[in-house]
Amino acid sequence: MGRLDAFDVGAKKLTIQTEFFARPAWRIETKIYLGGELKKLYTEDLEGSAEDELQKRVNDFHQAKIDELTESLRARKSQ
């Protein structure tokens, strides 16, 4: 279970990959790559989450990271 999105940012590719891991404890990891190089890793603990809500949590976490990056890139562009 997860999501993967990629965007062109100038001459480089920005890739956002979110995955669900069940072990050792339920968690989401989002990795941000720029030009194939890992730049950031975000983790959220899902202990106590309802199983039927997991995909929604993965999607929401992934979209939140995309939104943060978009805002950051817009702010840089306007400076």
The residues spanned by each domain of the chain are 2-78
pTM of the model: 0.84
The larger pLDDT score, comparing residue 36 to residue 76, is at: 36
Show the DSSP H helices in 1-79 as ranges: 54-78
**DSSP letter, residue 25:** S
Query: Distance between CA atoms of 1 and 69, rounded to whole angstroms?
Result: 22
pLDDT band at 70 (very low <50, low <70, confident <90, very high): confident
d(CA 59, CA 77): 27
What percentage of residues in the chain have a pLDDT greater than 90? Answer: 72
